[in-house]
Chains A and B, each alone.
Chain A
């Protein structure tokens, strides 16, 4: 999932708190989610999960990369530790986004609301929320999270059902769909940004080492993702730090 972070100093007094605007702003995200969650539904069905299981995963997690990494671990009988740590690393960027979003929330948002809002902090929802000039109110955030959530859960439902209904050959073809989306997210950025290109190359090398070298290939998939991602990202963070001001484009 890609994100666009725009740092603007918004007015502290004006608050965007229209539920309806939240719904409309969330609608494009909902449409985008339908295809990704559909692909996830197919992927989950391919791995042996039932429709209910796939939909529950989507309803409780709301993250494409995290869910995609989690399903093989669950279906392959991986340890809870592996699951927990892989989710921690893959979703670690959300902690940064939560920090940014917390700056953006209006002052009348209570603690309970914060607990609820943080559940819906995905890349796209975050991007739209941040792009508002005003501070954000509870009703707006509810609307903004609501529509994409329906798209995410509903798409998973459709995909998981399709995974049982469609002919084998179509399902295996759709198996690439979610990888295609990941490629579509990463490639435009690596074209423009050499540091990201370097991260990608390092990640590919590490990932293949872990797949093909005898000792390393014993590592479970969850830990492989963690180790490779941490090494590649930390290395580039040292050699090519990102500027803290200005735009980060994804």
Chain B
């Protein structure tokens, strides 16, 4: 895994001296991170906590907070807190 990651970074830095101009490749490479992160998150997040309900809570909290522009750490911590709270609530029921 490390080998491939390193090669992906190393080869262009070492070999390429000119700028990439091809619009399709540039656009593709621009969209890839967002697509990758999305595919990994959905539906993965719903299986992350052992209960669909608590995971859904975490998801909704994360989505709402990030729409409001909160920072990475804030979103992560508060969505975790949301999951914790809902897990505790479920235990009480």
Interface size class of A (residues with CB under 8 A): 35 or more
Of the residues B9, B35, B69, contact of A233 by C-beta under 8 Å: B35
Label chain B's interface by main secondary structure.
Answer: helix
Contact (Cβ within 8 A) B13 A98: yes
Of the residues B1, B39, B42, B55, contact of A66 by C-beta under 8 Å: B1
Label chain A's interface by main secondary structure.
Answer: helix
Residue A173 CB within 8 A of the other chain: yes
Which B residues are within 8 Å of any A CB, using their own CB? 1-2, 4-6, 8-14, 16-17, 19-21, 23-45, 48-50, 54-55, 58-59, 61-63, 65-67, 69-73, 75-81, 83-84, 87-88
Residue A158 CB within 8 A of the other chain: no
Of the residues B9, B31, B69, contact of A118 by C-beta under 8 Å: B9
- Least Cβ–Cβ distance between B5 and chain A, in angstroms: 5
What are 12 A-B contacts with C-beta separation under 8 Å? A36-B72, A60-B6, A90-B32, A94-B12, A102-B13, A172-B49, A176-B62, A177-B77, A179-B44, A196-B31, A229-B32, A241-B26
Contact (Cβ within 8 A) A98 B39: no
User: What separation, in Å, do the CA atoms of A200 and B70 have in the docked complex?
Assistant: 20
Residue A147 CB within 8 A of the other chain: no
Q: Which residues of A are found within 8 Å of B70, using beta-carbon distances?
A: 184
- Indicate whether A185 sits within 8 Å of B84 (C-beta atoms), given known contacts A91-B8, A99-B20, A180-B62: no
